Structure 1
Amino acid sequence: MSFQTMFRRFDETIKLNRFDENAELREKRDRILKRLRENLSITFEPFNQGSYAMGTGVKPLNGDYDIDIGIVFNIDRRSHDPVTVKGWVYKALETHTTRVEWRRPCITVYYQQSGEAIYHVDLAILAKDPYSGALHLAIGKEHSAAEQREWQPDDRKGFMAAVENRFSGEDAAQFRRVIRYLKRWRDVHFSSEGRAAPTGLGLTVAAYYWFQPTKSGPSDDDLGATLALVRIIHGQFTSAWDPSSGQPGVRLALRFPFAPQDDVFARMTNQQMQEFRQRLAKLIEWLEEAQRTGSTAPLQRAFGSDFL
């Protein structure tokens, strides 16, 4: 069996379908939207976002599925406090499940089974400018001080459209597969707790900038495409000073290509960055070993037991 056949089979095992292809996810989303419509006196426009919307999602190893939805209010943000607007959504949903949390960038609804989260839905609350149509994200917690509240420019819709149109045909399919491979590698080799792991958004932005379709003869070469991308990402780290330790370090600074154009890896510490770089180097070793020897063992070490 060729590596390409194995990669395609691995992708079928780990990938998550988009919202419109997944009845259970649609049901969770639609229940929340129904509750909002019943309990809000103001209208809103929902949209799917995140990996489910872009077709880059992978099945979580911990069983906690993360669903992302944008809730857009047609309001003038200059006349509304962002925390107040988030409060409309929180109050409409606070008894929808046994656990609804107010987080700085979103409102999160958890669905639990036997005390364990099996789904959580992140609701990003946005205001649509009545003149330009630009979106701004409500930032702030329930009791945040005034300086911790803001309407942050947000063009995640623009990014999703750019990802959708980045490549076409078989190149687009390989692009999404490679993103899914990197997400599963991340899930296997980093803790899901805290911020030690590079985010799925960060890996997707890296692929958006640096992925190049790769073929071996007339066929796709997912191993070669993944290796080429990981080499580029690893090569983008630069020296940086760590003020907390007073020591030099390395960082990967990567700007989101649309508003708010922030660094998608900014929340990782220099120590976490160092571990990220080291694990990328190890991934390169495994991919090169597989390419050199024809052995599947290094690919199983890289991507876990689902790579068969």
Structure 2
Amino acid sequence: MSLQPLFRKFHELIQLKQYDQNAELRQKRDAILERLRNGLRPRTFEFFNQGSYAMGTGIKPAPGSHDYDYDIDIGVVFDLDPRTTDSHAVKEWVFKAVHGHTQDVQWRNPCITVNYQQAREPKYHVDLAVMARDSSGRLHLALCKQHAQADLRKWQLDDRQGFIEAIKGRFRDPEDDFQFRRVVRYLKRWKNEHFSREGHAAPSGLSLTVAAHQWFSPVKSHTHQGVVHDDLAATTALVNKMLQGFQSTWDSQGHSRLVLRFPYAPQDDVLARMSHQQMFEFRGRLEKLRGGLEEARLSQSAAPLQRAFGSQFPIV
């Protein structure tokens, strides 16, 4: 028995449609953009979708879960010189424009976050990344907290757009591309099932996407019925590559770490904020995931996959 139909059914259950397919998400995004346009006049800005929606890797929260809500990422871009403009001042423009749009608007170091609730439970949050575009067309991200002193305010070179375009254009075969996005979504759901959202214990969705960008390869076979993609094998291969990555890097205390460099500016390690203990637990959970995937392959049973990915993974 092939497990592939169960993977595809699972994917249909967890896949979060993109803006052009999801009227409610599009409405939330457009309402905030209209608020920005009105609040920033006569200043002008451009925007672009970023994050999981732009890359087509978003997932729905698990039914009954209060730990994870929908996150929508938008880059808000101003044409100005980051060398002569205070990042805090520009971020304050955006904060003041959206303040009061909902009851909970937060100024965070990397972005301004607008939170939406339904029945007093988190439902959406929209992250507004405030950016400056210099005369060479490069984007810089405003990094500072609300009351940061001058020496803690900065602009950081940021090319998330380049990463998004690389993801979109990586595969010529659309079915290979679709498998890539499915596997990223499986890992995101696994992360939500087995890690707390608090602190930095969980790998971010971005870090899992960076890992897939670095190591994912399509797995498929040619049969008399045509080309058949094997999501179980593709997911297993990616998890193996991630575990192998722990073997190549150690910190100053001799602890193994998985280092994932963002392939575009700022080229930082997207797992750098994990402590040694969090990294140790991450590795252990990846090993447990690999064991479950291997058990499913050998037994052709979906039970270990349900333990790995949650109750939405279908048994039959």
Match of 1:93 among 83, 87, 98: 98
Aligned equivalent of 2:303: 297
Q: Does 1:195 align with 2:204?
A: no
In the alignment, the residues of structure 1 paired with residue 308 and residue 119 of structure 2 have an alpha-carbon distance, to the nearest angstrom, of 32
| Whole-angstrom distance in 2 between the partners of 1:49 and 1:282 | 31
Would the aligned equivalents of 2:47 and 2:74 in 1 still touch at CA under 8 Å? yes
1:232 aligns to what? 241
Structure 2 partner of 1:21 = 21
The correspondence for 1:80, drawn from 82, 85, 103, is: 85
Provide the rounded CA distance (Å) in 1 between the counterparts of 2:230 and 2:118. 40
What SS does the corresponding residue of 2:161 show, helix, strand or coil?
Answer: helix
Moved over 4 A (4+): none
Once residues 93 and 65 of structure 1 are traced to their aligned partners in structure 2, the CA distance between those partners, rounded to angstroms, is: 19
Instruction: Specify the SS of the correspondent of 1:213.
Output: coil
Quote the offset at 1:295 in angstroms: 1.0
2:83, 2:53 → 1: CA distance?
A: 32
From 123, 144, 149, the counterpart of 2:148: 144
**Other-structure match for 1:283:** 289
Question: What are the residue-to-residue correspondences of 1:1-308 with 2, within 5 Å?
Answer: 2-41=2-41, 42-61=43-62, 62=66, 64-129=69-134, 131-168=135-172, 169-217=174-222, 218-238=227-247, 240-241=250-251, 248-308=254-314
- The size of the alignment, in residue pairs, is 303
**Deviations 1:277-307 (CA, angstroms, capped at 9, x unpaired):** 0011011100011111111111111111111
Secondary structure, counterpart of 1:237 in structure 2: helix
Contact 2:251 2:257 in 1 (8 A): no
CA positional deviation for 1:114: 2.8
| AA matched with 2:158 | D
* Aligned-partner Cα distance in 2 for 1:18–1:53: 7
> 1:248 Cα deviation (Å)?
3.6
What is the deviation of 1:76? 1.3
Q: Percent identity?
A: 60
How many angstroms does 1:167 deviate by? 1.1
- For residues 219 and 10 of structure 2, the distance between their equivalents in structure 1, rounded to whole angstroms, comes to 18
Runs (5+) with no aligned partner, structure 2: none
Q: Which amino acid aligns with 1:292?
A: L
> Alpha carbon RMSD of aligned pairs, Å?
1.2
1:240: Cα distance to partner? 2.7
Three-state SS of the structure 1 residue aligned to 2:48 is strand
Distance 1:88 1:127 in 2: 13
In the TM superposition, what whole-angstrom CA distance separates every residue of 1:55-102 from its partner, at most 9, and x where no partner exists? 001112335111100000011112210011000000111111111000
SS at match of 2:270: coil
In the alignment, the residues of structure 2 paired with residue 134 and residue 290 of structure 1 have an alpha-carbon distance, to the nearest angstrom, of 46
TM-score by length of 1: 0.96
Q: Distance in 2 between matches of 1:250 and 1:262?
A: 18
Q: Distance in 2 between matches of 1:215 and 1:194?
A: 38
For residues 245-269 of structure 1, what are the alpha-carbon distances to aligned partners after superposition, in whole Å with 9 as ceiling and x for unaligned?
xx54221111000000000101111
The secondary structure found in structure 2 opposite 1:174 is helix
Q: 1 CA distance for matches of 2:193 and 2:292?
A: 14
